Amino acid sequence: MALLQPRRTYRAALCTELTKPLTIRDIPSAPLQPDEVRVRVRCCGLNFADILACHGLYQDKHPLPFTPGMEFSGDVLEIGAAISSMKKGDRVIGLANIKAMAEEYIADQKLLWTIPQGLSYEDAAALPISYGTAILALKHRAQTQPGETVLVTAAAGATGLAVVDVATNILKAKVIAAAGSQQKCHLALQKGASQSVNYSWLNLREEVKKLTASKGVNVVIDTIGGDIFKEALHSLAWEGRIVVVGFAGGTIPSIPANLLLLKNISALGLYWGRYREEDFPVCSSALSSVLQYCHEGRIQPHIGAVFKLEEINEAFAHVKQRRSVGKVVISVS
Protein backbone atom coordinates (compact mmCIF):
# COMPACT_ATOMS: atom_id res chain seq x y z
CA MET A 1 0.00 0.00 0.00
CA ALA A 2 1.36 3.41 -1.00
CA LEU A 3 2.09 5.78 1.81
CA LEU A 4 -0.07 8.92 1.97
CA GLN A 5 1.92 12.08 1.36
CA PRO A 6 1.69 14.64 4.16
CA ARG A 7 -0.59 17.53 3.28
CA ARG A 8 1.29 20.72 2.48
CA THR A 9 0.80 23.67 4.84
CA TYR A 10 1.55 27.38 4.84
CA ARG A 11 1.72 30.06 7.52
CA ALA A 12 -1.13 32.51 7.97
CA ALA A 13 -2.18 35.22 10.41
CA LEU A 14 -5.37 34.19 12.15
CA CYS A 15 -8.00 36.18 14.01
CA THR A 16 -9.37 33.60 16.41
CA GLU A 17 -11.15 36.02 18.74
CA LEU A 18 -12.37 39.54 18.02
CA THR A 19 -10.33 42.40 19.57
CA LYS A 20 -7.57 39.93 20.59
CA PRO A 21 -4.05 39.66 19.13
CA LEU A 22 -3.69 37.64 15.97
CA THR A 23 -1.75 34.36 15.93
CA ILE A 24 0.49 32.83 13.26
CA ARG A 25 -0.44 29.23 12.48
CA ASP A 26 0.14 26.57 9.84
CA ILE A 27 -2.85 26.14 7.53
CA PRO A 28 -3.34 23.16 5.19
CA SER A 29 -3.25 24.01 1.48
CA ALA A 30 -6.55 23.58 -0.31
CA PRO A 31 -6.93 21.82 -3.68
CA LEU A 32 -7.03 24.07 -6.72
CA GLN A 33 -10.20 24.41 -8.81
CA PRO A 34 -9.98 24.64 -12.64
CA ASP A 35 -10.50 28.44 -12.74
CA GLU A 36 -8.27 29.29 -9.77
CA VAL A 37 -4.65 30.37 -9.32
CA ARG A 38 -2.41 29.53 -6.38
CA VAL A 39 -0.19 32.48 -5.49
CA ARG A 40 2.89 32.54 -3.30
CA VAL A 41 2.28 35.77 -1.43
CA ARG A 42 5.31 38.03 -1.08
CA CYS A 43 3.73 41.16 0.41
CA CYS A 44 0.30 42.32 1.45
CA GLY A 45 -1.04 45.77 2.18
CA LEU A 46 -2.44 46.57 5.62
CA ASN A 47 -5.69 48.54 5.57
CA PHE A 48 -7.66 50.10 8.40
CA ALA A 49 -10.51 47.86 7.25
CA ASP A 50 -8.43 44.82 8.28
CA ILE A 51 -8.25 46.17 11.82
CA LEU A 52 -11.98 46.93 11.86
CA ALA A 53 -12.72 43.40 10.65
CA CYS A 54 -10.65 41.91 13.47
CA HIS A 55 -12.70 43.98 15.92
CA GLY A 56 -16.04 42.99 14.39
CA LEU A 57 -16.65 46.60 13.28
CA TYR A 58 -16.34 46.29 9.50
CA GLN A 59 -19.43 46.19 7.28
CA ASP A 60 -18.48 42.68 6.12
CA LYS A 61 -18.56 40.17 8.98
CA HIS A 62 -16.37 37.06 8.82
CA PRO A 63 -16.90 33.84 10.80
CA LEU A 64 -14.08 33.01 13.20
CA PRO A 65 -11.35 32.07 12.76
CA PHE A 66 -10.33 34.01 9.65
CA THR A 67 -7.22 35.42 8.03
CA PRO A 68 -7.43 39.17 7.26
CA GLY A 69 -5.90 40.82 4.22
CA MET A 70 -7.51 42.42 1.17
CA GLU A 71 -4.61 42.98 -1.24
CA PHE A 72 -1.37 41.21 -2.04
CA SER A 73 1.53 40.73 -4.44
CA GLY A 74 3.35 37.53 -5.25
CA ASP A 75 4.23 34.82 -7.74
CA VAL A 76 1.99 32.28 -9.45
CA LEU A 77 2.69 28.84 -7.98
CA GLU A 78 0.07 26.82 -9.80
CA ILE A 79 -2.76 27.38 -12.28
CA GLY A 80 -6.06 25.58 -12.65
CA ALA A 81 -6.76 23.39 -15.66
CA ALA A 82 -9.06 25.98 -17.26
CA ILE A 83 -6.55 28.86 -17.18
CA SER A 84 -4.43 29.78 -20.17
CA SER A 85 -3.75 33.49 -19.52
CA MET A 86 -1.18 32.92 -16.75
CA LYS A 87 1.74 30.64 -16.06
CA LYS A 88 3.83 29.55 -13.13
CA GLY A 89 6.27 32.25 -12.08
CA ASP A 90 4.21 35.24 -13.23
CA ARG A 91 4.40 38.21 -10.86
CA VAL A 92 0.90 39.35 -9.90
CA ILE A 93 -1.08 41.60 -7.60
CA GLY A 94 -4.53 40.69 -6.46
CA LEU A 95 -7.66 41.69 -4.61
CA ALA A 96 -9.08 39.52 -1.86
CA ASN A 97 -12.10 39.70 0.39
CA ILE A 98 -9.99 38.23 3.21
CA LYS A 99 -7.17 35.67 3.62
CA ALA A 100 -4.29 37.59 1.99
CA MET A 101 -2.10 37.82 5.13
CA ALA A 102 -0.60 34.42 4.54
CA GLU A 103 2.17 32.70 2.60
CA GLU A 104 -0.33 31.37 0.08
CA TYR A 105 -3.56 32.58 -1.47
CA ILE A 106 -5.94 30.92 -3.93
CA ALA A 107 -7.37 33.56 -6.24
CA ASP A 108 -10.02 33.88 -8.88
CA GLN A 109 -8.04 34.62 -12.04
CA LYS A 110 -10.08 37.76 -12.81
CA LEU A 111 -8.89 39.31 -9.53
CA LEU A 112 -5.23 39.10 -10.53
CA TRP A 113 -3.21 41.63 -12.54
CA THR A 114 0.35 41.38 -13.85
CA ILE A 115 2.92 43.46 -11.97
CA PRO A 116 4.66 45.88 -14.38
CA GLN A 117 8.36 45.31 -14.91
CA GLY A 118 10.50 47.21 -12.44
CA LEU A 119 7.80 47.50 -9.78
CA SER A 120 8.74 45.92 -6.44
CA TYR A 121 6.50 43.53 -4.52
CA GLU A 122 6.21 46.10 -1.73
CA ASP A 123 5.08 48.91 -4.03
CA ALA A 124 2.75 46.58 -5.91
CA ALA A 125 1.02 45.47 -2.71
CA ALA A 126 0.45 49.13 -1.81
CA LEU A 127 -1.58 49.89 -4.94
CA PRO A 128 -4.91 48.01 -5.16
CA ILE A 129 -6.95 49.38 -2.25
CA SER A 130 -5.53 52.87 -1.72
CA TYR A 131 -5.00 53.81 -5.34
CA GLY A 132 -8.10 51.97 -6.53
CA THR A 133 -10.07 53.99 -3.98
CA ALA A 134 -8.38 57.23 -5.08
CA ILE A 135 -9.19 56.66 -8.76
CA LEU A 136 -12.83 55.79 -8.11
CA ALA A 137 -13.35 58.58 -5.58
CA LEU A 138 -11.86 61.31 -7.75
CA LYS A 139 -12.85 60.21 -11.25
CA HIS A 140 -15.85 57.90 -11.03
CA ARG A 141 -17.72 59.41 -8.09
CA ALA A 142 -16.67 63.10 -7.86
CA GLN A 143 -15.83 63.45 -11.57
CA THR A 144 -13.00 65.81 -10.67
CA GLN A 145 -11.95 68.17 -13.46
CA PRO A 146 -8.53 69.70 -14.20
CA GLY A 147 -8.02 72.93 -12.27
CA GLU A 148 -10.58 72.14 -9.57
CA THR A 149 -9.59 72.32 -5.92
CA VAL A 150 -9.67 69.08 -3.92
CA LEU A 151 -9.58 68.92 -0.12
CA VAL A 152 -8.18 65.64 1.24
CA THR A 153 -8.55 64.71 4.91
CA ALA A 154 -6.08 62.32 6.60
CA ALA A 155 -3.88 63.36 3.71
CA ALA A 156 -0.77 61.53 4.96
CA GLY A 157 -2.53 58.18 5.28
CA ALA A 158 -2.37 55.47 2.64
CA THR A 159 -5.56 56.53 0.89
CA GLY A 160 -4.95 60.22 1.53
CA LEU A 161 -1.52 60.23 -0.12
CA ALA A 162 -2.90 58.18 -3.02
CA VAL A 163 -5.62 60.79 -3.52
CA VAL A 164 -3.03 63.59 -3.42
CA ASP A 165 -0.88 61.69 -5.93
CA VAL A 166 -3.72 60.98 -8.38
CA ALA A 167 -5.38 64.39 -8.06
CA THR A 168 -2.18 66.34 -8.73
CA ASN A 169 -0.30 64.12 -11.15
CA ILE A 170 -3.13 62.52 -13.14
CA LEU A 171 -6.10 64.89 -12.92
CA LYS A 172 -4.11 68.12 -12.66
CA ALA A 173 -6.24 69.39 -9.79
CA LYS A 174 -5.12 71.68 -6.98
CA VAL A 175 -4.95 69.89 -3.62
CA ILE A 176 -5.36 71.18 -0.08
CA ALA A 177 -4.02 68.49 2.25
CA ALA A 178 -5.51 68.29 5.74
CA ALA A 179 -3.70 66.22 8.36
CA GLY A 180 -3.13 65.99 12.10
CA SER A 181 0.51 67.06 12.39
CA GLN A 182 3.06 69.28 10.73
CA GLN A 183 5.11 66.23 9.72
CA LYS A 184 2.11 64.72 7.96
CA CYS A 185 1.25 68.00 6.26
CA HIS A 186 4.83 68.28 5.04
CA LEU A 187 4.70 64.77 3.57
CA ALA A 188 1.49 65.58 1.67
CA LEU A 189 3.10 68.74 0.32
CA GLN A 190 6.08 66.69 -0.85
CA LYS A 191 3.64 64.38 -2.63
CA GLY A 192 2.21 67.28 -4.62
CA ALA A 193 -0.36 69.11 -2.50
CA SER A 194 -0.35 72.89 -3.06
CA GLN A 195 -1.36 73.84 0.49
CA SER A 196 -1.95 72.13 3.82
CA VAL A 197 -3.92 72.51 7.04
CA ASN A 198 -2.92 70.99 10.38
CA TYR A 199 -6.35 70.41 11.90
CA SER A 200 -4.92 69.31 15.25
CA TRP A 201 -4.54 73.00 16.14
CA LEU A 202 -6.31 74.95 13.35
CA ASN A 203 -9.98 75.07 12.41
CA LEU A 204 -10.29 73.31 9.07
CA ARG A 205 -13.28 75.29 7.86
CA GLU A 206 -11.71 78.65 8.65
CA GLU A 207 -8.37 77.74 7.11
CA VAL A 208 -9.96 76.46 3.89
CA LYS A 209 -11.95 79.68 3.70
CA LYS A 210 -8.69 81.67 3.90
CA LEU A 211 -6.87 79.48 1.39
CA THR A 212 -9.68 79.70 -1.19
CA ALA A 213 -10.52 83.39 -0.72
CA SER A 214 -13.92 82.33 0.70
CA LYS A 215 -14.80 80.39 -2.48
CA GLY A 216 -14.53 76.91 -0.96
CA VAL A 217 -13.34 73.69 -2.59
CA ASN A 218 -14.90 71.77 -5.45
CA VAL A 219 -14.26 68.28 -4.10
CA VAL A 220 -13.67 66.73 -0.68
CA ILE A 221 -12.38 63.18 -0.20
CA ASP A 222 -12.96 62.27 3.45
CA THR A 223 -11.87 59.14 5.30
CA ILE A 224 -12.30 60.44 8.87
CA GLY A 225 -15.92 61.32 9.57
CA GLY A 226 -16.94 63.08 12.77
CA ASP A 227 -16.32 66.80 13.19
CA ILE A 228 -13.69 66.89 10.44
CA PHE A 229 -16.30 65.69 7.96
CA LYS A 230 -18.69 68.42 9.07
CA GLU A 231 -16.06 71.14 8.68
CA ALA A 232 -15.11 69.77 5.26
CA LEU A 233 -18.76 69.66 4.19
CA HIS A 234 -19.15 73.34 5.08
CA SER A 235 -15.99 74.06 3.07
CA LEU A 236 -17.56 73.05 -0.24
CA ALA A 237 -18.12 75.60 -2.97
CA TRP A 238 -21.27 75.93 -5.05
CA GLU A 239 -22.04 72.54 -6.66
CA GLY A 240 -19.22 70.93 -4.70
CA ARG A 241 -19.00 67.19 -4.10
CA ILE A 242 -17.94 65.37 -0.94
CA VAL A 243 -17.05 61.67 -1.16
CA VAL A 244 -17.43 59.59 2.01
CA VAL A 245 -14.73 56.90 2.02
CA GLY A 246 -14.62 55.87 5.68
CA PHE A 247 -14.82 56.80 9.34
CA ALA A 248 -11.31 56.40 10.73
CA GLY A 249 -12.18 58.92 13.44
CA GLY A 250 -14.75 56.49 14.78
CA THR A 251 -17.84 58.70 14.52
CA ILE A 252 -20.35 58.47 11.67
CA PRO A 253 -21.66 62.02 11.06
CA SER A 254 -25.12 63.10 9.96
CA ILE A 255 -25.55 65.37 6.96
CA PRO A 256 -27.77 68.48 7.18
CA ALA A 257 -29.93 68.20 4.06
CA ASN A 258 -30.59 71.93 3.98
CA LEU A 259 -26.90 72.53 3.27
CA LEU A 260 -27.09 70.22 0.26
CA LEU A 261 -30.03 72.24 -1.01
CA LEU A 262 -28.71 75.75 -0.38
CA LYS A 263 -25.36 75.24 -2.10
CA ASN A 264 -26.47 72.58 -4.62
CA ILE A 265 -23.81 70.24 -3.28
CA SER A 266 -23.66 66.45 -3.46
CA ALA A 267 -22.69 63.88 -0.84
CA LEU A 268 -21.45 60.63 -2.38
CA GLY A 269 -20.41 57.32 -0.87
CA LEU A 270 -17.59 55.06 -1.99
CA TYR A 271 -17.24 51.46 -0.84
CA TRP A 272 -14.45 50.27 -3.12
CA GLY A 273 -14.81 46.56 -2.31
CA ARG A 274 -18.45 46.48 -3.40
CA TYR A 275 -17.52 47.23 -7.01
CA ARG A 276 -16.02 43.77 -7.33
CA GLU A 277 -19.49 42.26 -7.03
CA GLU A 278 -21.74 45.03 -8.37
CA ASP A 279 -19.74 46.53 -11.26
CA PHE A 280 -16.53 44.60 -11.84
CA PRO A 281 -15.60 46.39 -15.10
CA VAL A 282 -15.33 49.66 -13.14
CA CYS A 283 -13.15 47.97 -10.51
CA SER A 284 -10.94 46.31 -13.11
CA SER A 285 -10.57 49.47 -15.17
CA ALA A 286 -9.54 51.47 -12.09
CA LEU A 287 -6.82 49.02 -11.10
CA SER A 288 -5.58 48.65 -14.67
CA SER A 289 -5.28 52.44 -14.86
CA VAL A 290 -3.34 52.52 -11.59
CA LEU A 291 -0.86 49.95 -12.88
CA GLN A 292 -0.43 51.85 -16.15
CA TYR A 293 0.13 55.17 -14.36
CA CYS A 294 2.67 53.54 -12.04
CA HIS A 295 4.47 51.87 -14.95
CA GLU A 296 4.70 55.25 -16.68
CA GLY A 297 6.17 56.81 -13.55
CA ARG A 298 3.29 59.24 -13.11
CA ILE A 299 2.37 58.02 -9.62
CA GLN A 300 4.41 56.43 -6.84
CA PRO A 301 3.08 54.83 -3.64
CA HIS A 302 4.67 55.89 -0.37
CA ILE A 303 5.65 52.96 1.87
CA GLY A 304 5.72 54.25 5.43
CA ALA A 305 6.64 51.01 7.20
CA VAL A 306 7.24 47.33 6.48
CA PHE A 307 6.58 44.58 9.03
CA LYS A 308 7.17 40.84 8.84
CA LEU A 309 4.20 38.46 9.02
CA GLU A 310 5.29 37.49 12.54
CA GLU A 311 5.03 41.18 13.48
CA ILE A 312 1.39 41.50 12.43
CA ASN A 313 0.21 42.68 15.85
CA GLU A 314 2.91 45.35 15.95
CA ALA A 315 1.78 46.47 12.51
CA PHE A 316 -1.84 46.72 13.67
CA ALA A 317 -0.76 48.75 16.72
CA HIS A 318 1.31 51.06 14.49
CA VAL A 319 -1.80 51.95 12.50
CA LYS A 320 -4.22 52.08 15.44
CA GLN A 321 -1.94 54.46 17.32
CA ARG A 322 -1.88 56.79 14.28
CA ARG A 323 1.88 56.48 13.91
CA SER A 324 1.65 55.39 10.28
CA VAL A 325 2.13 57.55 7.22
CA GLY A 326 1.54 56.28 3.73
CA LYS A 327 1.10 52.54 3.31
CA VAL A 328 1.99 49.89 5.85
CA VAL A 329 3.07 46.67 4.13
CA ILE A 330 3.42 43.16 5.52
CA SER A 331 6.39 41.26 4.09
CA VAL A 332 5.55 37.57 3.94
CA SER A 333 8.58 36.10 2.17
For domain 130-273, the question of CATH label 3.40.30.10 is answered with: no
Q: How far apart are CA 122 and CA 198, in angstroms?
A: 29
SS3 label, residue 34: coil
Rounded-to-integer distance, Cα 73 and Cα 301, Å: 14
Would you list the domain boundaries of the chain? 10-126+302-331, 130-273
At 186 the pLDDT is 97
Q: What is the pTM (predicted TM-score) of this model?
A: 0.94
For every residue of 180-240, DSSP letters joined together read: SSHHHHHHHHHHT-SEEEETTTS-HHHHHHHHTTT--EEEEEES--HHHHHHHHTTEEEEE
For residue 105, the model assigns a pLDDT of 97
Q: What is the mean pLDDT of each run of 10 residues along the chain (333 residues)?
A: 63 97 96 96 96 91 95 97 94 95 96 95 97 97 98 97 98 98 97 97 97 98 96 98 92 92 96 92 96 96 97 96 93 90
Domains 10-126+302-331 and 130-273 agree in fold: yes
Question: The domain 10-126+302-331 is classified under which CATH number: 3.90.180.10, 3.30.420.130, 3.40.50.300, 3.30.70.980?
Answer: 3.90.180.10
Residue 284: which H helix or E strand, with range?
Answer: helix 280-295
How far does the chain reach from its first CA to its final CA, in angstroms?
A: 37
Look at residues 96, 302, 266, 94 and name the one whose alpha carbon lies nearest to residue 192. Answer: 302
pLDDT at residue 2, as a whole number: 47
Look at residue 7 in the predicted model and tell me its pLDDT: 65
- Rounded Cα distance between 3 and 224, Å, is 57
Q: Is the C-alpha dihedral spanning 168, 164, 192, 226 positive or negative?
A: positive
d(CA 152, CA 165): 11
